[in-house]
Amino acid sequence: MKGVLILENGQKFYGNMLMDEPAVGEVVFNTGMTGYQETFTDPSYAGQIITMTYPLIGNYGLFHEIEQAERPYAAGFIVSELCEEPSNWQNEGKLSTFIMTHHIPCLYGVDTRAITRAIRSHGVMKGVIVPETMDESAIKELFDTP
């Protein structure tokens, strides 16, 4: 399914959605080359849409022992490339399965570097992840969410 991240300044970034659930939150970025699972489960990211700047996320799969909490706290995830065939001797599953199990909206196939530049230039902004075909009034309603 095609999706889009819309920032409160009107900028749009198109990609694919893992599920058709929308997300609303403060859009932030994380520059870590590893630690995506720790980031997704870190309570300090509660209510935020996390943009992962490293291009390939999910490549070493999941290892539940390293999670920071029992569940993800983020409002959504944005990644450039979502790896569907992880490789690690400790791998306990695919990241996409973890994301869908916890019903976390995820946009992938996006130029995360461009999103990061937008945030660095304009400061942290509210944003929404929505299906590309979502009605403008529904998008406005999401933006009106505190």
What's the pLDDT tens digit per position in 8-38? 999 999 999 999 999 999 999 999 888 888 8
Share of the chain above pLDDT 70, in %: 99
Q: What pLDDT shows up at residue 72?
A: 87
**What is the pTM for the complete model shown?**
0.92
What's the pLDDT tens digit per position in 129-140? 999 999 999 999
In the chain, what are the domain boundaries? 2-130
Residue 47 pLDDT exceeds 90: yes
* CATH 3.50.30.20 applies to domain 2-130: yes
The span from the CA of 58 to the CA of 49, in Å, is: 17
CA dist 27 to 23, 83, 90, 111, 116, Å? 10, 22, 31, 14, 9
Q: What pLDDT shows up at residue 109?
A: 97
